[in-house]
């Protein structure tokens, strides 16, 4: 099946969870590149402020106040996009919630809410988008996580939801390809991104939560998403640390679990409480509008693994050239020397 996605500057892009973190980074970069953007989140005040700022720069923006976990809200997002721009071309399922604590500490309501937002919100968004995009083609982009491959202490519910997202994304892709639908389905797998996620999560810990290192700039997720909006890709990883975590879990699960048991909690607590006004958005929205978290952490601004995935041909050529240089050097080193 062959079809071509539109350039980003010709697209209408729906972004859920657009009021902060990865979602805000995606929305801002999409607008900067010339796309029309539909901003979706629970906080109307935050969305309107963001929309006004983007429109002041010449962007085409529509706002939809919605909770992807509530019946009817996801369908209404599509209605808003069509009413404002006549269509949408890419749908980004980014909205997510989380909580820090053991599986036993979290209430069943906490677990259900996380699954309702992170999995069922993504699932319904994907199905609504697929129904619309079957007619003219486009992209569905789901934000997964490295924790969709490898669980970690204190974020069990979040990891479970991302495992589900990974499975649902793969299944939907296969079904659409079987039907010959002109729809690209991409899973984005970020490592730890320097978003306000930890500061906005519900926490049962005795110290402020944080995201485990290494941390990366959320704008790298935006770059991956907008690349996938215009280029068909099955999966894009953001942050090499995530690749190593997934690989370790796959090839040495016992060792991986030992390291997580030993260091998992220490790597997810901080002395820096961050912004107290952001705390606990699991059931209610809080002040938003920041791409990055307020905790003072070391952040990487480049992802080599993402660049390699965006240019697989060039990467393969560079690896082959490097291997050839190494082979020639080794042969010369091993060659018998004349006395």
Is 304 one of the annotated active-site residues of the chain? no
Q: Check if the beta carbon of residue 31 is closer than 8 Å to that of residue 59.
A: yes
Judged by DSSP in three states, 207 sits in coil
| Cα–Cα distance for residue pair 88/57, rounded to 1 Å | 21
Judged by DSSP in three states, 124 sits in helix
Q: Check if the beta carbon of residue 165 is closer than 8 Å to that of residue 118.
A: yes
| Cα–Cα distance for residue pair 91/217, rounded to 1 Å | 22
Residues facing 190 on adjacent strands = 238
Burial class of 301 by CB neighbour count within 10 A (0 to 12, 13 to 18, 19+): exposed
Whose tokens are 């590149």? That residue is 33
Of 74, 257, 67, 226, the closest CA to residue 159 belongs to: 257
| Cα–Cα distance for residue pair 269/190, rounded to 1 Å | 20
Which entry of 119, 158, 216, 304 is annotated as an active-site residue?
Answer: 158
Q: Phi and psi of 216, rounded to 5°?
A: -125, 160
The DSSP letter of residue 102 is -
Nearest-Å Rg of the Cα atoms of the chain is: 21
Residues facing 184 on adjacent strands = 139
Q: Phi and psi of 19, rounded to 5°?
A: -90, -10
- By annotation, the residues acting in catalysis are 158
């Amino acid at each position: 099946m062959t079809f071509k996605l539109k350039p980003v500057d010709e697209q209408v892009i729906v972004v859920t969870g657009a009021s902060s973190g990865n979602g805000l980074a995606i929305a801002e970069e999409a607008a900067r590149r010339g796309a029309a953007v539909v901003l979706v989140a629970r906080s109307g005040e935050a969305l309107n402020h963001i929309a006004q700022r983007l429109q002041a720069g010449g962007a085409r923006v529509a706002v939809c106040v919605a909770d992807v976990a509530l019946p009817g809200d996801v369908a209404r997002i599509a209605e808003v996009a069509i009413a404002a721009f006549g269509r949408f071309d890419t749908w980004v399922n980014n909205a997510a919630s989380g909580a820090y604590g053991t599986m036993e500490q979290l209430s069943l309501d906490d677990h259900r809410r996380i699954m309702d937002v992170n999995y069922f919100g993504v699932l319904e968004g994907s199905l609504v988008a697929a129904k619309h995009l079957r007619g003219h083609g486009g992209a569905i982009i789901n934000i997964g996580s490295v924790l969709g491959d490898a669980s970690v202490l204190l974020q069990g519910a979040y990891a479970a939801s991302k495992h589900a997202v990974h499975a649902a994304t793969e299944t939907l892709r296969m079904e659409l390809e079987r039907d010959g639908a002109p729809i690209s389905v991409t899973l984005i797998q970020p490592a730890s991104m320097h978003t306000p996620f930890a500061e906005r999560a519900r926490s049962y810990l005795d110290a402020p939560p944080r995201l485990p290192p290494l941390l990366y700039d959320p704008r790298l997720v935006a770059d991956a998403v907008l690349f996938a909006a215009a280029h068909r890709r099955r999966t894009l990883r953001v942050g090499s640390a995530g690749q190593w975590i997934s690989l370790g879990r796959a090839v040495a699960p016992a060792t991986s679990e030992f390291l997580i048991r030993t260091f998992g909690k220490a790597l997810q607590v901080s002395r820096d409480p961050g912004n107290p006004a952001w705390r606990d958005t699991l059931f209610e929205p809080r002040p938003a509008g920041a791409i990055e978290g307020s905790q003072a952490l070391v952040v990487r601004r480049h992802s080599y693994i993402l660049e390699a995935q965006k240019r697989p041909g060039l990467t393969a050529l560079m690896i082959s050239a490097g291997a050839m240089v190494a082979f020639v050097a080794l042969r010369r080193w091993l060659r018998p020397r004349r006395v």
